[in-house]
Chain A
């Protein structure tokens, strides 16, 4: 067996939706499980209509993230490159200034402290960023000094920057505190005295100037720009990692000539983009790595917020669509259900009418067969009665005559029943021919001629001159009128009136009104007179089939019948028939 989700299997809770009160009716319906169809239709509609939306949203989100990432990388790259160029220019410019000085001026003028102070003030004016200047000979002794600190006569032989600086033409140190306890950078150029001895022109650079320059590249608060040395120690303060000289908890990126941007795989909240560049000047490599750190979530907050809003809108749309889908599905399935219900009802009715027709045929057969023996009984009993009456024997024996009368009456009752049953069966086939209503009525009335005279009933027939001959089933119309006129005669007391009016209801109908001044029908019985076997003539051998058959016949002739009655005054039956009866489709 196929496994189904629980919700499709158990729809007891949905019974209120497509309630089926009639189990017999249900057997005629095409589809047995409406709640299931309902759920399936909702699911299919939901999947087909919502999945593109959801997919589009998903793809859109991915695209936003991707483009945001790409944008971020580009931005970082640009900032890093620019900052690197500035940084490089800053250092090169100062290094070249020093180089210019040592090449231009002779050694003896340089070791003059006053001259050196003048040079320093000129450098400060021309370039800025210089703190002090000094001349150090090859042994590490400071020969001359210009600057705010009292460092004259110090020996730097043991200092690592000195050993490195004396070995190369140009040198740039890391940031360090040194003797003066203030973070600074040393740049130096090496030259020779007239006696071919090496000496260094050393300058100390103000780190503040460097920091200002770097922070000018901070486009917003989410960007952090700082310098690292090759062992990961901060050279300038960082908003993320803290003060100068603390070790930054990041991996030292691999060496590269050009600017690089990396996006480390970390958790979403701290996701960031890092741009870095090893700073080299033309003359010398520096120990600095320029780092640009951008936090993704902060920088792209607006974008991500927009995405969130978008997702919310999509969510609400989905919800609204679900509601609409549910409503539409409910409506459609309900329509289907109603149509099916109507079909089932028709089929049930057809089955019932077929059953009725069968019963009718059967009873007609029986009635026909019974009529012959009935006729024999009738004649035998009648003959017996005749014998008594005509031969004169036992004429005084009244009891026997009465008994024979009882038999004759019973036979006559049976005859009525069988003839009505046969009439009942005739409802089922219709033969259309042209009928003159006036002739028909006169024929029926002639049958009652004797009764009319005997009871003293005034019969009036008023037939409008414009009444056309109608096309209908003669036999049935005859029976309808016969039944109604018979009823009228039975209801009318002596000296009553019977009015029959036929009129044309243009364009396509005629009405036959049969009005009697009989006993009338009590209101509580009016609703029931068309029910089969409803009769008030218990003692007078009524079968209760007459009016029921009449109603059926009128319907069969595509007409309508109306009754108005008030007890004691009389009854009016109005039959309305089409002038031209439509042939009905054979089912």
Chain B
């Protein structure tokens, strides 16, 4: 299972990657949409964790481009607009939104659920 984390907050994203790898999850980081697309051109990812609001390319825009490259990829959105109303409640969206600050266990649970919805 390969994960790519995209956020302009470099320290935050690095820390998150390290924590995930400690838990046995292989995570790459990208600090911008462009960087993410470069990485995705070389590696195949199962799931992308995207910040909604980034300078340049936004999370949603990135999602469309990543889908063009890798149609099977799944998405989880992270947002500083820590709202309850979009807090991981799927309805007609396929996407899941998580609020900052993240709970690492919730994130991992969500990733697993996203990749294997049947479990």
B7-51 with Cβ < 8 A to chain A: 9, 11-12, 15-16, 18-19, 22-23
Nearest-neighbor residue (CB-CB) of A483 within chain B: B84
Q: Is residue B118 within 8 Å, beta carbon to beta carbon, of the partner chain?
A: no
Contact A372:B9 (CB < 8 A) given known A378-B102, A379-B19, A482-B89: yes
Nearest-neighbor residue (CB-CB) of A377 within chain B: B101
**What are the residues of chain B within 8 A of A419 when measuring CB–CB?**
82-84, 87, 99
Question: Can you identify 30 A-B contacts, CB atoms within 8 angstroms?
Answer: A368-B81, A368-B82, A371-B100, A371-B101, A372-B9, A375-B9, A375-B80, A375-B101, A378-B101, A379-B101, A383-B19, A386-B19, A390-B23, A411-B101, A412-B101, A412-B103, A415-B100, A419-B99, A423-B83, A423-B84, A423-B85, A426-B83, A444-B89, A447-B89, A474-B85, A474-B91, A478-B85, A482-B84, A482-B85, A483-B84
**What are the residues of chain A within 8 A of B58 when measuring CB–CB?**
none
Distance in Å from the Cβ of A424 to the closest Cβ of chain B? 10
Known: A376-B15, A415-B100, A482-B84. 18 other contacts (CB 8 A): A371-B99, A372-B12, A375-B9, A375-B100, A376-B9, A379-B15, A379-B16, A379-B101, A380-B11, A386-B19, A412-B101, A419-B87, A422-B82, A423-B84, A475-B86, A476-B85, A479-B84, A483-B84
**What are the residues of chain A within 8 A of B89 when measuring CB–CB?**
440, 443-444, 446-447, 478, 482
A406-464 with Cβ < 8 A to chain B: 411-412, 414-415, 418-420, 422-423, 426, 436, 439-440, 443-444, 446-447, 450
Distance in Å from the Cβ of A438 to the closest Cβ of chain B? 11
Q: Is residue B104 within 8 Å, beta carbon to beta carbon, of the partner chain?
A: yes
| Count class of interface residues, chain A | 35 or more
| Contact pattern, A 474-510, Cβ under 8 Å of B = 1, otherwise 0 | 1110110011000000000000000000000000000
Interface SS, B side: loop
Indicate if the CB atoms of A376 and B12 lie closer than 8 Å: yes
Q: Is residue B90 within 8 Å, beta carbon to beta carbon, of the partner chain?
A: yes
Q: Is residue A200 within 8 Å, beta carbon to beta carbon, of the partner chain?
A: no
Indicate if the CB atoms of B22 and A379 lie closer than 8 Å: no
Q: Is residue A374 within 8 Å, beta carbon to beta carbon, of the partner chain?
A: yes
**What are the residues of chain B within 8 A of A443 when measuring CB–CB?**
89-91
Query: Once the chains are docked, how many angstroms separate the CA of A371 from the CA of B83?
Result: 11
**What are the residues of chain B within 8 A of A422 when measuring CB–CB?**
81-83
**What are the residues of chain A within 8 A of B87 when measuring CB–CB?**
419, 447, 482
Query: Once the chains are docked, how many angstroms separate the CA of A302 from the CA of B89?
Result: 101
**What are the residues of chain B within 8 A of A382 when measuring CB–CB?**
15, 19, 104
**What are the residues of chain B within 8 A of A378 when measuring CB–CB?**
100-102
Distance in Å from the Cβ of A61 to the closest Cβ of chain B? 84
Query: Once the chains are docked, how many angstroms separate the CA of A379 from the CA of B103?
Result: 9
**What are the residues of chain B within 8 A of A483 when measuring CB–CB?**
84
Q: Is residue A367 within 8 Å, beta carbon to beta carbon, of the partner chain?
A: yes
- Cβ 8 A contact of B18, one of A374, A376, A383: A383
Indicate if the CB atoms of A367 and B91 lie closer than 8 Å: no
Query: Once the chains are docked, how many angstroms separate the CA of A285 from the CA of B69?
Result: 151
Distance in Å from the Cβ of B70 to the closest Cβ of chain A? 26
Indicate if the CB atoms of A415 and B85 lie closer than 8 Å: no
Query: Once the chains are docked, how many angstroms separate the CA of A81 from the CA of B85?
Result: 115
Indicate if the CB atoms of A383 and B15 lie closer than 8 Å: yes
| Count class of interface residues, chain B | 20 to 34
**What are the residues of chain A within 8 A of B16 when measuring CB–CB?**
379
Nearest-neighbor residue (CB-CB) of A374 within chain B: B101
Interface, chain A (partner B; CB < 8 A):
367-368, 371-372, 374-380, 382-383, 386-387, 390, 411-412, 414-415, 418-420, 422-423, 426, 436, 439-440, 443-444, 446-447, 450, 474-476, 478-479, 482-483
Query: Once the chains are docked, how many angstroms separate the CA of A436 from the CA of B91?
Result: 9
Nearest-neighbor residue (CB-CB) of B12 within chain A: A376
Query: Once the chains are docked, how many angstroms separate the CA of A371 from the CA of B7?
Result: 14
**What are the residues of chain B within 8 A of A475 when measuring CB–CB?**
83, 85-86
**What are the residues of chain A within 8 A of B18 when measuring CB–CB?**
383, 386
**What are the residues of chain B within 8 A of A374 when measuring CB–CB?**
100-101
Distance in Å from the Cβ of B14 to the closest Cβ of chain A? 9
Distance in Å from the Cβ of A376 to the closest Cβ of chain B? 5
Distance in Å from the Cβ of A579 to the closest Cβ of chain B? 19
Nearest-neighbor residue (CB-CB) of A486 within chain B: B84
Nearest-neighbor residue (CB-CB) of A378 within chain B: B101
Distance in Å from the Cβ of B113 to the closest Cβ of chain A? 10
| Contact pattern, B 96-119, Cβ under 8 Å of A = 1, otherwise 0 | 000111111000010000000000
Query: Once the chains are docked, how many angstroms separate the CA of A474 from the CA of B79?
Result: 19
**What are the residues of chain B within 8 A of A436 when measuring CB–CB?**
91
Query: Once the chains are docked, how many angstroms separate the CA of A415 from the CA of B101?
Result: 6
Query: Once the chains are docked, how many angstroms separate the CA of A379 from the CA of B83?
Result: 19
Query: Once the chains are docked, how many angstroms separate the CA of A426 from the CA of B87?
Result: 14
| Contact pattern, B 51-90, Cβ under 8 Å of A = 1, otherwise 0 | 0000000000000000000000000000011111111111
Distance in Å from the Cβ of A473 to the closest Cβ of chain B? 9
**What are the residues of chain B within 8 A of A423 when measuring CB–CB?**
83-85
Query: Once the chains are docked, how many angstroms separate the CA of A418 from the CA of B100?
Result: 10
Distance in Å from the Cβ of A398 to the closest Cβ of chain B? 20
Closest 7 CB pairs of A and B: A378-B101, A419-B82, A379-B15, A475-B85, A375-B100, A371-B80, A375-B101
Query: Once the chains are docked, how many angstroms separate the CA of A476 from the CA of B19?
Result: 34
Nearest-neighbor residue (CB-CB) of A418 within chain B: B82
**What are the residues of chain A within 8 A of B102 when measuring CB–CB?**
375, 378-379
Nearest-neighbor residue (CB-CB) of A411 within chain B: B101
Distance in Å from the Cβ of A481 to the closest Cβ of chain B? 10
Query: Once the chains are docked, how many angstroms separate the CA of A483 from the CA of B82?
Result: 15
Indicate if the CB atoms of B99 and A415 lie closer than 8 Å: yes
**What are the residues of chain B within 8 A of A372 when measuring CB–CB?**
9, 12, 80, 100
Distance in Å from the Cβ of B85 to the closest Cβ of chain A? 4
**What are the residues of chain A within 8 A of B101 when measuring CB–CB?**
371, 374-375, 377-379, 411-412, 414-415
Nearest-neighbor residue (CB-CB) of B9 within chain A: A372
Indicate if the CB atoms of A440 and B12 lie closer than 8 Å: no
Query: Once the chains are docked, how many angstroms separate the CA of A374 from the CA of B12?
Result: 10
Distance in Å from the Cβ of A544 to the closest Cβ of chain B? 16
Query: Once the chains are docked, how many angstroms separate the CA of A446 from the CA of B86?
Result: 14
Distance in Å from the Cβ of A422 to the closest Cβ of chain B? 5
Query: Once the chains are docked, how many angstroms separate the CA of A351 from the CA of B81?
Result: 27
Distance in Å from the Cβ of B37 to the closest Cβ of chain A? 23
